[in-house]
Amino acid sequence: MNSTFSRTLKALCAVMAAALLSACGGASSTVEPFHPTRVVGLGDGYNDVRATVRETGSTTGTVVGQVAAYFGQSNLVSKANSGARIADLAAQIDLVGSFSSGDLVVIAVGTFDVKAGATPATEAQTLVTQVQRIKTAGAKHILIMPVLEVSRTPWGRSTTPTFDSTADVTHGGGHTNAFNSEVLSALNIAFGGQSPNTVIYANAGLSPLSTLFLTATSVTTYSPFTDTGYNGTTAGTTPACGSATVSSFAGCVAGAGGVSTSYTTMLFANGIHLTPAGNRWVAQYLYNATAQGWR
């Protein structure tokens, strides 16, 4: 049988080739695509439908909202909160109440654990525990977003000294890479050999999402963004919500309260999170990670 993670690598190979739903690696059989009856969001500000910089009145500017849109599903429930950490998932799962086999559960969490310098191995095991709770409750389709490199965010670049997420936690680092590696390993050990597979971690193999984020934040422009900023130049150094040190979304609606109206071509909304355009970009790769379906 193919593990979740080898299958994910095949799907992500298609991403690197810019083929939205094409498979690579030669599956031996056709897999019926999954059509969720509900999409459930858990985690932090990437999935917080109540508090993201967004088009006025829209909830689809989040990662989970965009994933739901790619699946053509408007039945969206999100209990995610800006600033949430892995330890907060348990309460969010309680708030959802019940899960079914028709649910697609999208988890975006870990950024604030990295920001706080938490121990990657410990947090990865806590995540596994909560994913198992969701599975036990009946969900069979769980999609997990990797942490994007915190040192490349406006907040990470604005800290003094500059936040170093490759350093050990006692020297001001949060281990973004170590965190993602620990999560991949822990999920693979816990769920990778199961059939049918139920968990997709969208950062397996060559880690294209993380790699592309590093590329996007290393150059002046990166399609579809006219300016990603934060590449050592003066261009675009102010995110849509105005301050590189802010990581909350209070009052952060485009065109109001000083929020830039040009955020549609900007990558960052504030010091940590992305604009709706940035979230759509991330959601595309999460969706592509399901290209060959769950099997």
Question: pTM here?
Answer: 0.82
Q: Which residues of 250-287 are buried (b: 16+ CB within 10 A; e: fewer)?
A: eebbbeeeebbeebebbbbbbbbbbbbbbbbbbbbbbb
Model confidence pLDDT, tens digit, residues 166-182:
554 433 344 688 888 89
Q: What's the confidence (pLDDT) of residue 252?
A: 61
Q: What's the confidence (pLDDT) of residue 101?
A: 95
Residues 244/158, Cβ–Cβ less than 8 Å = yes
Give CA angle at 271 (176, 65), nearest 5°: 80
| Closest to 3 in 3D by CA, of 178, 148, 205 | 205
Model confidence pLDDT, tens digit, residues 44-100:
999 988 765 655 545 568 899 999 999 999 999 999 998 999 999 999 999 999 999
Number of alpha carbons in the 13 Å side-chain half-sphere of residue 200: 25
What amino acid is encoded at 22 in this protein?
A: S
pLDDT above 90: residue 125: yes
Highest mean pLDDT pick, 93-102, 215-224, 257-266 = 93-102
SS3 annotation, 220-253: CCECCECECCCCCCCCCCCCCCCCCCCCCCCCCC
What amino acid is encoded at 37 in this protein?
A: T
Could you say which of 1.10.10.10, 1.20.58.1880, 3.20.20.105, 3.40.50.1110 is the CATH number of the domain covering 4-22+30-228+276-288? 3.40.50.1110
Kindly report the number of other CB atoms within 10 A of residue 81's CB atom. Answer: 18
